[in-house]
Amino acid sequence: MKKQKILWYSAAAFALLGTSLRGVRGMRFSAALSWCVCMVLVLYALLCAAAEKTRWAKALLNVLRALLLAGFAVFVVMESMVLRDAHGTALPGGGEDVSCVIVLGAGVHGTTPSLSLSTRLDAALAFLADKPSLPIICSGGQGGGEDITEAECMARYLTARGIDPARIWKEERSTSTRTNFENSYALMAERGLDPTGPVAFVTSDFHICRARRIAGPEHTMGIASRLPGGAYYSALEFNYFIREAFALANELTFGVDL
């Protein structure tokens, strides 16, 4: 009976957490995950109660336990990969020979870059500080709630901070990480650059692992951007890192890029 109470109270706590996170910007994944955990706990509690009376419920409970254990193991592996690359990656020579830097798009609120996008752009500016002639590809199409393409938003942000517009190449058709790279490499080839040579890309720290797998790890370096400090940003970063483990598992299992 005590175990049942703990399960039901835990389910209620996760349901409340999911409801409270639902209205917090950037935390929709954590809200959805909390609701999923709530439903799993409810199912587990029901099967525990039924297992005391019927064999089929006991068998289902054992199957659920095995699935949860396997799922947790997969999550640990995926999360370790995400964390391993979160500091960024490197090319021999420190990336001094890169022929281009690709800034991967993120959300735009109307015409204003989201927090993730603005931090990526700031990281790109830091990388470009001593590279006055390096071409920059701003890669990202237009999604829901965006009045302009992500590439256009990035180009405006960079030019407003002193980057010569002639250095900026806009790639405005991408809708995923895979198309970010495919379209950017095609643009490089059109402009006379070798897309198989050393290339740098800028994205959020939690996204480096998956992005580098898609980009081609043998010739790319990933420059990681990080959110500012503070309680809210730390919670947001935690949310993104957990979500990325699921996105990486999805990409490795089904080949579906987000």
Q: What is the pLDDT of residue 169?
A: 98
The answer on pLDDT for 91 being more than 90 is no
**Residue 92 three-state SS:** helix
pLDDT digits (tens, 9 = 90+) for 148-166: 999 999 999 999 999 999 9
Answer yes or no: do 98 and 219 share one domain.
yes
Q: What is the pLDDT of residue 2?
A: 83
Q: What is the pLDDT of residue 8?
A: 96
Answer yes or no: do 78 and 98 share one domain.
no
Handedness of CA 245, 251, 256, 257 (dihedral sign): positive
pLDDT digits (tens, 9 = 90+) for 68-79: 999 999 999 999
Q: What is the pLDDT of residue 95?
A: 74
pLDDT band at 65 (very low <50, low <70, confident <90, very high): very high
What does the DSSP 8-state code read for residue 243? Answer: H
As a whole number of angstroms, the distance between CA 87 and CA 207 comes to 10
In the chain, DSSP assigns E strands to: 101-104, 108-109, 112-113, 136-139, 168-171, 199-204, 220-225
Answer yes or no: do 43 and 72 share one domain.
yes
As a whole number of angstroms, the distance between CA 189 and CA 183 comes to 10
Structural domain range at position 58: 2-85
Number of domains within the chain: 2
Answer yes or no: do 120 and 196 share one domain.
yes
CATH number, domain with residue 147: 3.40.50.620
pLDDT digits (tens, 9 = 90+) for 24-49: 989 999 999 999 999 999 999 999 99
Rounded to two decimals, the pTM is: 0.93
Answer yes or no: do 39 and 142 share one domain.
no
Where helices occur in 91-221 by DSSP H, the ranges are 115-128, 150-159, 177-190, 208-215
Residue 236 lies in a domain: no
Residue 157 lies in a domain: yes
Residue (of 182, 245, 227, 236) closest to 28 by Cα position: 236
Phi and psi at residue 154, to the nearest 5°: -65, -40
pLDDT band at 257 (very low <50, low <70, confident <90, very high): confident
As a whole number of angstroms, the distance between CA 56 and CA 61 comes to 9
Element holding 146 (H helix, E strand) = none
Contact 213, 233 (CB under 8 A): no
Answer yes or no: do 36 and 150 share one domain.
no
Answer yes or no: do 101 and 19 share one domain.
no
